Amino acid sequence: MNHYVTHLEAAIDGTRLPFGQLHGMHAGRPIWVRYDLEAIRKAVTPDEIAKRPPSLWRYRELLPLPMDVEPVSLGEGMSPLLNCPRLAEHLGLKNLWVKDESQLPTGSFKSRGMTAAVSMAKWLGVKRIALPTAGNAGGAAAAYGARAGLEVYVFMPADTPSINQMETAMFGAKAFRVNGLINDCGKIVKDRSAEMQWFDFSTLKEPYRLEGKKTMGLEIAEQFGWELPDVILYPTGGGTGLIGMWKAFQELKELGWLKSNQMPRLYSCQAEGCAPIATAYAKGERFAELFPNAHTLASGLRVPVAVGDFMILDAIRASGGQALTGSEDSISRWMSTGGQLEGISFCPETAICLDVLAQLQARGEVKPKERVVVFNTGAAQKYQEAYSFELPLYSPPA
Ligand SMILES: *Cc1c(COP(=O)(O)O)cnc(C)c1O
């Protein structure tokens, strides 16, 4: 057998769909990939995986690309899990780690989703993809598309960070700015896909970006010696990271690879200026409403409506976590504090997580000794607009 996928499954109603053909969504909602976990348990052990190269493709059996197909890769994955004692002390905690995704290709964790989705699209014969982006997904799609020889169309809000605009152009995508938000960009892709023969690569509108992002959960399990932390904070836009991580934990539990089946509490962190998931969570709803007048410097979180809303909210609730907001004013302060205490290049999205973590600690909802992981999903260097400064010009003493 050259892969372990049994079938695809519609997330909204459980409909079974065949693997090996091109799929978008089902009933307007995302699709899960399901594996023969019993066969995987017989085929490979965690010790064998530990000996493989440090790339997310080490979890090959738990990924959809057939084993004899070469992935479209830029060497992504196995990002460092950095212990942060100085930042921990500042926050009144003892055990804090940052999973540093800023070091991945294109400077964000979006490369995880794209290596998987572009590899699958190429294998399935796709020639042309299109996607809306809040910034980093467009850059990653352009890079992996270039490597695969695909034609890539990207639509982004007109005020997307300039580095994100630059990278899409540099990697040869046909990229456009749009007067509107990411959902308006998404509508352009949806409305013109048939005419333009685009395969829609929007977040969760094809099944495989999620599988790539799932590897964040596999990696922290492996890096913690197959014992999960107590608390995870994750900045949430479209939600693939959070949904993917929860899926990874369930698969590991079923595989029997975890030393304890105690699951981490997942905290979804959003900016106060764009918080559809936190709002739905507070109201006890399973589906979120479009968040009006979305604005935040944490551009990756500027996603006013998410097709996977119910998947995010189900995962948070099943884990015993919450969806909360961090303040806009705190973004540059947390970028500096984190950077000065640990030398890590914190993106604005993760600054929001640090603000939420400070709130949780103050309320006693995260205990000082709990093992806490914060995901740093991107590199600060990509956000000139969110963190501006000018160095003083040196003048020698008279
Ligand atoms: C896309 C993005 C997010 C949001 O990720 P999702 O998994 O889609 O919710 C967070 N941070 C950064 C830097 C991003 O680029």
Q: What is the pLDDT of residues 382-396, one digit of tens each?
A: 998 888 788 999 999
Q: Is the CB of 203 under 6 A from ligand 1?
A: yes
* pLDDT (mean) for 353-371: 98
Minimum-distance ligand 1 atom for the alpha carbon of 347:
13
- What is the CA(154)–ligand 1 centre distance, in A? 17
Q: Is the CB of 131 under 6 A from ligand 1?
A: no
What's the gap in Å between 378 CA and the centre of ligand 1?
Answer: 8
pLDDT of residue 80: 98
pLDDT-above-70 percentage for the chain: 100
- Residue 83's SS3 state is strand
Q: Residue 317 burial (CB < 10 Å; 0-12/13-18/19+)?
A: middle
pLDDT in tens, 234-255: 999 999 999 999 999 999 999 9
- Whether pLDDT at 296 is above 70: yes
User: For ligand 1, is residue 110 a contact (CB within 6 Å)?
Assistant: yes
241-295 pLDDT tens trace: 999 999 999 999 999 999 999 999 999 999 999 999 999 999 999 999 999 999 9
Q: Using one digit for the tens of pLDDT, what is the confidence trace for 121-131? A: 999 999 999 99
Which mutation among 377, 381, 382, 385 tests ligand 1's pocket best, with the greatest number of atoms within 8 A of CB? 377
Beta carbon of 240 within 6 Å of any ligand 1 atom: yes
Query: What is the pLDDT, as a whole number, of residue 389?
Result: 82
pTM above 0.85, yes or no: yes
Per-chain mean pLDDT for the chain: 97
Cα of 302 vs centre of ligand 1, distance in Å, is: 9
Q: How many CB atoms lie within 10 A of CB 314?
A: 15
| 136 CA distance to ligand 1 middle (Å) | 8
Measured CA to CA, the distance from residue 209 to residue 205 in angstroms comes to 9
Nearest-angstrom CA–CA distance, 315 and 379: 26
Question: Over 80: is that where the pLDDT of 1 sits?
Answer: no
Ligand 1 pocket member 212 (CB < 6 A): no
Residue 72 sits at the vertex; the CA angle it makes with 67 and 76, to the nearest 5 degrees, is 100
User: What are the angstrom distances between the C-alpha of 386 and each of 163, 245, 282, 312, 339?
Assistant: 12, 28, 28, 27, 14
CA distance 87 to 14: 43
Nearest Cα residue to atom 4 of ligand 1: 237
350 lines ligand 1 (CB under 6 A): no
Q: What is the mean pLDDT of residues 347-368?
A: 98
**Domains located in the chain, CATH noted:** 81-108+208-386 (3.40.50.1100)
